[in-house]
Amino acid sequence: MWLWEAVRVASRHEMPATVVLGAQWGDEGKGRVVDYFAESADFVVRYQGGNNAGHTIVVGDEKLALSLIPSGILYPDCTPVIASGTVIDPKVLLDEMDMTMSRGLDPSRVKLSSNAHLIMPYHRKLDAAIERYLGKNRIGTTKKGIGPTYTDKYARVGIRVQDLFDPKIFRKKVEAALEDKNKLLPRIYNTLPMDPDEIIDEYREYADRLEPHVADTSLLLFNGLREGKQVLLEGAQGTLLDIDHGTYPFVTSSNPTAGGAAVGSGIGPKSLDEIIGVAKAYISRVGTGPFPTELHDEVGDRMIELGGEYGTVTGRRRRCGWLDLVALRYSNRVNSFTKLFITKLDILSAFETIKVANAYQSAGEIHDEFPVQQSVLYNCEPQYEELPGWETDITAVRTFSDLPKEAQRYVRYIEERVEVPIGWISVGPERSQLVEVT
């Protein structure tokens, strides 16, 4: 009897976890949104992806760009966790720890899952070589080795963080991996083979520095939830870049969607309570692939310039277009959002009228739902509704009722069409430039 009583007491204290994830093609402003919620979080967890992500946080005049360390690093009482669904380039992680330390933050709290997979030098090399090989069919990856690392993970020949601490096993795995890669690199991709000893020596140094951070992060979070601690899960990339639900093959190699948060962090799906979708007030994409509302005119150019739409990781110019509600409704379908957070509303202040896509037309047919057939997505014409703009600076607004009526209408319009309540809007990159919607 006492056992059941203990179970009941434990579950009574369990606090649910909150997921914050991108509802579009990435760069929605997840970093700043996570920073907002992290103030009350005990753990902020990255559950997938690697240093293909670039999350920007602006506090006062200071700007912090993070690619691997979760955005909770800014709060001294918050533990940043890099969970098992991620892929880690150890040098990038260590450099980012040094960078945060030089900015007065404390990276000693970072916890790294012993099950996370390691990005190896041959993964980076293969990423670049495969892109070259694909030519005009390339994905436009970040060339950080993400795809090849996940490929090895699923082929069950990947190398995990824990392998760093067993030199014999580590050597065996590197040599085994290079056996076929050293054939592929010169024969197929016309590039030089790699020396296992060099890699082993390099990674030995990383092992010593990473060891104090390595943990069973699934257990850490499980116990945290039981003790009533707040867990915030930070998605990288976005729903339309999801390997299963995105615009395949023009996607990343992991699951940013809400289900991926449970799998990648090692906590059960019933522990996920709030699922907050982050969407820009317009939309952007980096890399290749279909993009129905993309603008190739001066309106698109203005969005890029005013929105500072240049990649945090690669510096590439992002492609921009009007908000796509077909895609946003789809994003809600695969994520079950409890709320939306709309970012960068201030950028739309520049436009006299604002368009939103409600449907696509392809071969005379109207598509209200996101098409499963990629060719439809490539060839469709978005069906736009035009809403009046507000053409007023809104960057100093802090309450919803102080927004111009047209801006309020735009927000309500999105809410009605997507059928998810909008909880917050941001009106500038700085931490305080935010409006809570009541």
Tokens, residue 278 = 């982050």
User: How many other CB atoms are found less than 10 A from the CB of residue 294?
Assistant: 16
Whether 106 is catalytic is no
CA distance 255 to 258: 8
Q: Is 69 in the site for ligand IMO (CB under 6 A)?
A: no
For position 33 contacting ligand IMO by CB under 6 A, the verdict is: no
The reply on whether position 129 binds ligand IMO by CB under 6 A is: no
What residues between 210 and 249 interact with ligand GDP by CB under 6 A? Answer: none
DSSP for 196-237 reads HHHHHHHHHHHHHHHGGGEE-HHHHHHHHHHTT--EEEE--S
Q: Which of 22, 29, 50, 54 binds Mg ion (CB under 5 A)?
A: 54
Residue from the set 236, 278, 303, 347 that interacts with ligand IMO by CB under 6 A? 236
Catalytic residue flag (residue 27): yes
The kind and range of the H/E element at 97 are helix 90-102
Q: By CB under 6 A, tell whether 331 contacts ligand IMO.
A: no
| Min separation Cβ 70 and ligand GDP, Å | 11
Residue 318 interacts with ligand GDP (CB under 6 A)? Answer: no
The residues in 297-316 that bind ligand GDP, with binding defined as CB under 6 A, are 308, 312
Nearest-5° angle of CA 86, CA 87, CA 89?
135
| Closest distance to ligand GDP from the beta carbon of 164 (Å) | 28
CA distances from 349 to 13, 57, 323, 340, 427 (A): 45, 22, 14, 20, 10
Q: Of these residues, 13, 35, 42, 55, which one is catalytic?
A: 55
119 scored as a contact of ligand IMO (CB under 6 A)? no
Task: Out of 17, 18, 19, 27, point to the residue binding Mg ion (CB under 5 A).
Answer: 27
Q: Given CA atoms 98, 262, 174, 139 in this order, what sign does their dihedral have?
A: negative
Q: What is the binding site for Mg ion (CB under 5 A)?
A: 27, 54, 312
Q: What is the binding site for ligand GDP (CB under 6 A)?
A: 22, 26-32, 54-56, 58, 308, 312, 343-344, 346-347, 426-429
State the catalytic residues.
Answer: 27, 55
